[in-house]
Amino acid sequence: MDRIKIVGGKPLRGSIPISGAKNAALPLLIASLLTEDRLTLKNVPNLADVNLLVRILRNHGVDLAVDGKRPGPATHLGDTIHLTARDIVDTTAPYEMVSRMRASFWVLGPLVARMREARVSLPGGCAIGTRPVDLHLMGLKALGAEIDIDAGYVIARAPKGLHGARIVFPKVSVGATHNVLLAAALAKGETVIENAAREPEIGDVALCLSKMGAKVEGIGTSVLRIQGRDRLEGAVHTVLPDRIETGTFAMAVAATGGDVTLEGARLGDLKTALEILASTGTSIQEAETGVRVYRNGGGIAPVSVETEPFPGFPTDLQAQLMALLTRASGTSVIRETIFENRFMHVQELARLGADIQLHGDTATITGVKTLKGAPVMATDLRASVSLVIAGLAGEGETVINRVYHLDRGFEQLERKLSACGADIERIASG
Please state the residue numbers annotated as binding site. 22-23, 102, 131-135, 171-174, 316, 338
Q: Estimate to the nearest angstrom the gap between the alpha carbon of 231 and the chain centroid.
A: 29
**Binding-site residue ranges for UDP-N-acetyl-alpha-D-glucosamine:** 102, 131-135, 171-174, 316, 338
CA dist., res. 321 & res. 363, Å (int):
12
Q: What is the dihedral of CA 113, 117, 119, 122, to 10 degrees?
A: 40
Q: Residues 50, 22: contact at Cβ < 8 Å?
A: yes
CA 416 from chain center: how many Å?
A: 18
Reported as half-sphere exposure (CB side, CA atoms, 13 A), residue 93 has a value of 33
Residues in Cβ contact with 275 at an 8 Å cutoff, skipping those fewer than 6 apart:
none
Cα–Cα distance measured from residue 343 to residue 358, given in angstroms and rounded to the nearest whole number: 8
Cis ω on the peptide bond leading into residue 302 (within 30° of 0)? no
Instruction: Please state at what angle helix 318-325 crosses helix 243-256, rounded to 10 degrees.
Output: 10
> 126, 192, 374, 427: which one is catalytic?
126
Gap between the terminal Cα atoms of the chain: 8
Is 420 marked active-site? no
Question: Binding site membership for phosphoenolpyruvate: which residues?
Answer: 22-23
The set of catalytic residues is 126
